[in-house]
Structure 1
Amino acid sequence: MNEWFRKWFASDEYLKVYSHRNEEDANNLLNLVLNNIPQKENYKVLDAACGAGRHSLPLALKGFDVTGFDLSKTLLKVAKINSAELDLDIKYVCSDIRYVNFNAKFDLILNMFTSFGYFENDAENFMFFENAREFLNSDGIFVLDYFNKNYLENNVIPYSERVTEGRLIRENREIKNGKIIKKIKIQNNDKLYEYYESVKLYSRDEIVNVFNKLGYKLINEFGNYLGHNFNYDLSERVILFFKL
């Protein structure tokens, strides 16, 4: 299941499966972030693994100077179309998160909606956080939004199915070898598509320890998009704010 994301994120079906990640979630998360960072003019924001622009678009609408990057040309095409329709000046870059590099400095770097843990080894998974030190301003903030390992292990849903835009979507989930594995089958009329996801499970403490070793300091944390306090067993999300 090596680099499963290349096929999955390049497919036309990805946005259909995750259409339930609604704008309300995105807006709540952005509001949480913006309410917990210093207010300043001319904020330069980097949206890492930006996908179709779920966060970069509303940020640009709020007046931020936004750059987004993603590996998927398919998702970036959607982001660029939506940006053009809204007459927004967002810089979109196609790049692998492990090797992306910028000459610019950013005041805010975002890694949202569990866009982390996709690789086979820890070094690759944490590579972006190490490299980001070079393009995060000295007073800048890095925000990571990831699932809570403790909660997920106790609340994983083995099977679910739903119909979205005429597609029957069936999802099998299991935790195996320290990863959450999801097998996805999409029935669209007479066509059947099969994909999978494999995301490494890191605990809140494991993530914080790595960031600390890289020279970051944890300055804030939350357990959901509404800003509730983080609880190891009850929180669905781990939302961490770091500074250098």
Structure 2
Amino acid sequence: MGSIASGSRRPALSSENLAHGARSRRSRSSLARRSRKAACFTCKEVGGGWIGSHDHSSAHILCCLRAQHEMRGCPVVGKPAACPAGMSECCQPMSSKPSFPAWFETAFRAEYLEVYAHRDQASARAEVGFLLDQGLCGKVLDLCCGQGRHLIAMRDEGLEAFGMDLSQELLMRAGALEGGQKTVGSLARADQRMLPLRDECLDGATLLFSSFGYHDDCGDAAVIEDLRRVLKPQGLLVLDLMNPDSIRAGLVPHSVREEQGLRLEETRSLSEDRRRVRKRVRFIRPGSEPLVWEEDVRLYDPADLDALLEDHGFVAESRWGGFGAKVFNAQAPRQLVFARRAAGGTSCPV
């Protein structure tokens, strides 16, 4: 699961261009500290958000966080309004949110890359090739981009691609990848529920390797609604999710893996309603204290996912069982959905 970026002189950030993204009070104070440190940035505008270009060090990752007064509107609808029934928690100012971190704020550390070391650049290039065949084009956001494997492949293919992720640790390691220099100036740290971009500025957006379903129903709806906002009419949304039928039928309750001196213990379970899969990971390195984190992801059955997309102005066009045009059925390992934002016009030039 996966869960931004850097730049000589930084322009002033107005409430318009320091648009969306939300974290805790601690994150906002951290943003202020980074702003003071980052006087050497040369930032460029990307659809209304500011993406810096410099290096991948901690001081050069730009945090795009929405100002607190802008949080008083419901992020599900993107403007001050009454929340739908059961979604009142969305409308609370960030200062009233719980102070303890959500699981996805702590799970995606540097060790995550060692757990999934088999995901390499060659596979990313093949997967991006399939996305291109399905119509991905133009200006693209790779949301929850992690270290940037797919972002590099997208830029290699000529897409005007940018990446965003909440994990600073993963973003800081983008430069270590083969071709990592191509991500400089193309990364930003942001919350997927509130994107630091102007309306209708993107031709496409991707959420790859189970990067959707991290929140409650309200939070997941906020993600889809903000993606609808930033995509142009007929813009393409790609969701790469777990296949619920396959997960429920084949869930392995416990596994242990040892490689190169590392020991990985994983415990998995389903929620009582079988709509979420939960995993507890214990990462053990010789001579170090074990690291423990948890993951908790919604399983979206096709009908539920299509209804959510339709409620927020998308039409599901196709569904695959994985990259490379694998057929989607109950045994398929993945649920790869391509959806278009409704409304007239075309997104990419012909």
1:19-168 pair list within 5 angstroms: 19-37=117-135, 43-80=138-175, 82=177, 85-88=180-183, 90-103=185-198, 105-119=201-215, 121-168=216-263
In the alignment, is the contact (CA less than 8 A) between 1:112 and 1:144 conserved in 2? yes
Write the distance in 2 (CA, Å) between the matches of 1:122 and 1:50.
Answer: 22
For 1:225, the equivalent position in structure 2 comes to: 323
> Which residue, 304, 309, 314 being the options, matches 1:216?
314
Write the distance in 2 (CA, Å) between the matches of 1:22 and 1:84.
Answer: 12
For 2:333, the equivalent position in structure 1 comes to: 236
Give a deviation string over 1:192-215, Cα, whole Å, max 9, x none.
111111112221211111101111
Write the distance in 2 (CA, Å) between the matches of 1:18 and 1:126.
Answer: 28
In the alignment, is the contact (CA less than 8 A) between 2:269 and 2:279 conserved in 1? yes
Once the two structures are aligned, what percentage of the paired residues are identical?
26
Taking a change above 3 Å as real, the CA distance of residues 90 and 108 of structure 1, as seen in their structure-2 partners, is: farther
Give a deviation string over 1:135-193, Cα, whole Å, max 9, x none.
11113211110001111000111121112342111111111233211111111103211
Give a deviation string over 1:72-118, Cα, whole Å, max 9, x none.
11111112454875445551110111122302611110010000111
Deviation of 1:126 (Å): 2.4
Deviation of 1:219 (Å): 1.3
For 1:8, the equivalent position in structure 2 comes to: 107
CA RMSD, Structure 1 to Structure 2 (Å): 2.1
Taking a change above 3 Å as real, the CA distance of residues 242 and 167 of structure 1, as seen in their structure-2 partners, is: same
DSSP-derived class of the 1:55 partner: helix
1:198 aligns with 2:293: no
Taking a change above 3 Å as real, the CA distance of residues 23 and 204 of structure 1, as seen in their structure-2 partners, is: farther
For 2:33, the equivalent position in structure 1 comes to: none
Deviation of 1:226 (Å): 2.0
In the alignment, is the contact (CA less than 8 A) between 1:66 and 1:90 conserved in 2? no
For 1:183, the equivalent position in structure 2 comes to: 280
> What is the letter of the counterpart of residue 117 of structure 1?
G
DSSP-derived class of the 1:98 partner: coil
Write the distance in 1 (CA, Å) between the matches of 2:126 and 2:177.
Answer: 20
Write the distance in 2 (CA, Å) between the matches of 1:25 and 1:157.
Answer: 25
> What is the letter of the counterpart of residue 112 of structure 1?
L
Choose between structure 1 and 2: higher strand proportion: 1
How many pairs align?
238
> What is the letter of the counterpart of residue 327 of structure 2?
N
TM-score with structure 2 setting the length: 0.64
List gaps (5 residues or longer) in structure 2. Answer: 1-99, 342-350
List gaps (5 residues or longer) in structure 1. Answer: none
> What is the letter of the counterpart of residue 224 of structure 1?
G
> What is the letter of the counterpart of residue 36 of structure 1?
Q
In the alignment, is the contact (CA less than 8 A) between 1:175 and 1:181 conserved in 2? yes
Write the distance in 1 (CA, Å) between the matches of 2:235 and 2:127.
Answer: 18
1:207 aligns with 2:305: yes
TM-score with structure 1 setting the length: 0.90
Deviation of 1:27 (Å): 3.1
In the alignment, is the contact (CA less than 8 A) between 1:16 and 1:165 conserved in 2? no
